[in-house]
Homo-oligomer: A and B are copies of this chain.
Amino acid sequence: MTEQTAPSFFERLKNLTTLWRDIASPARIEALPPLRADLPEDDAEKVRAQMQACLEGRGGDVSARARAAELGRAFLSLDAHGRERFLRIMASDFDTDHGAVMAACSALSAAETVEDRARAEQTLRAQLEAPRVRLLTQFNALPDGVKFLVDMRAELLPLAKKNHDLKGLEGDLKALLMSWFDVGFLELHRLTWQSPAVILEKIIAYEAVHTIHGWDDLKNRLDSDRRLYAFFHPRMRNEPLIFVEVALVDGMAGHVQPLLDTDAPVMDPVNADTAIFYSINNAQRGLDGISFGNFLIKKVVEELNHEFPNLKTFATLSPIPGFRAWMDELLAEGEPNLLTAGERKVLTAACRQRFGEAEAVGAKGGLKALLAVPDWHDDPVVEQALRAPLLRLCARYLTQEKRPGGDGVASRARDPVAHFHLSNGARVERLNWLGDISGKGVKQAYGLMVNYLYKLNEIERNHEQYKGQGKVALSSGIKGLMKE
């Protein structure tokens, strides 16, 4: 019988807990004096000197990190103007040394043996790494260093678009984040009503496809017939990087309002045959251009498959954000060639019924005129007339409208959401009339929504054909729509 305290299960956990509070805290360095918010030149000089001290590693690595942390805190205390000046210092004063780079080029061209060449390449590579890259890395010393850098890039991106001299810094930062956010480091978590409020609050804030109206709405999206998965980085525990909302349903859902209805009954997910991915959101502006959506969707498909063996279909219910803008361009050119004879007849009849004979004549085609009817989707005559031509045109928009490729892609779908799913190997499966009749849905895409289907054994082929030849995979239903 021993008296020794039995640590609870959780006290035990603490023994394996990171003891890391602030990586650089043990260093004893003099503090950076407080800076004015707009970083006037004399303060800028202090910043420059501190950066220099970081790069020299004065007092050893631990001290260098401590100084970088001070710099990071200083940056956070600046206003927008001051931050831009701070970034410009990093960009300009700690760039590569062009002369040294050119010298290394010459040395490489002069190298004769294989070994000399390798060494010369190594030197050149080192010269091409700007000193500011080391500085960026040292900011990782901040308690929340990774988030600091992600947010710094979010601020830097719009600035770099306007100012060429910040582009290099932005590129360096992106390269650093790409390495650190390699998908192999990310963790897929399922979020539920048991998750910490601090994370759930961010889901509410970051949802941009179908706004979450408060905590009750969120709770509904975490119900037993729903799933919400997110990627996290081990050093950004409270921040989802990207997340997807899934509904487990019977049959492929075509209308988003019932999915969002907090009063709708909850179904037993064990009986569901279809998983509908109804919202996918990138949560960090600072990670723009570093993509994990493809991995997220496929991992989630795998997880769902494992948890619900009855699931047969994995599909999205997606917005078509660019459809309306494209239609506006077409309509500006005039309707005549846009419509089939049959469509024109139906539309004219509807115009006549709605506006009277006289105005119907002036309506030309009728598409534009009927779309101008307020709340046209609540008007049975108008809605019926518009249905066929809009479905057909939307099918054409999604599958045939392209823009030049890039990233080794032959040519890409004009619609960005379509491009994302087609790149992932999905196919265009079904168009849904009045799929989203919210203000936003009608404004973006005349209320149309589309299902992209992820068929596991077609994904690789679809991807290759889309990437190689720009060929869009589509269902026979969509093909049918286009023939009309």
Contacts and interface: CB of A to CB of B under 8 A. Distances in A.
Given A102-B108, A109-B102, A456-B28, A194 B197 contact: yes
A435 interface: no
- For A16, A61, A214, the residue with the greatest tally of chain B CB atoms inside 10 Å of its CB is A16
Given A128-B121, A460-B28, A140 B184 contact: yes
Contacts of A184: 23, 65, 137, 140-141, 145-146, 235
A176 to B, nearest CB: 8
A20 B8 contact: yes
Interface string A48-67: 00000000011111110100
Contacts of A457: 28
A398 to B, nearest CB: 20
Contacts of A408: 57
Contact of A237 (B12, B23, B121, B122): B12
Contact of A3 (B73, B109, B154, B198): B73
Interface in A276-302: 294-295, 298-299, 301-302
Interface string A184-209: 11111111111111101100000000
A368 interface: no
Given A195-B197, A200-B197, A183 B65 contact: yes
Interface in A75-112: 76, 96, 98, 101-102, 105, 108-109
A15 B228 CA distance: 10
Contacts of A464: 58-59
B114 A165 contact: yes
Contacts of A190: 15-17, 19
A125 B5 CA distance: 35
A424 interface: yes
A162 interface: no
Given A144-B5, A460-B59, A463-B60, A27 B101 contact: no
Copies in the complex: 4
Contact of A115 (B58, B143, B164, B294): B164
A18 B124 contact: no
A73 B57 CA distance: 40
A299 B13 CA distance: 20
Nearest to A148: B1
A114 B98 CA distance: 10
Nearest to A119: B167
A298 B460 contact: no
A147 interface: yes
A349 interface: no
Interface in A1-51: 1-23, 25-29
A151 interface: yes
A381 B108 CA distance: 65
A179 interface: yes
A390 to B, nearest CB: 32
Contact of A1 (B109, B118, B152, B459): B152
A338 to B, nearest CB: 35
Contact of A294 (B62, B191, B200): B62
A179 B177 CA distance: 10
A354 interface: no
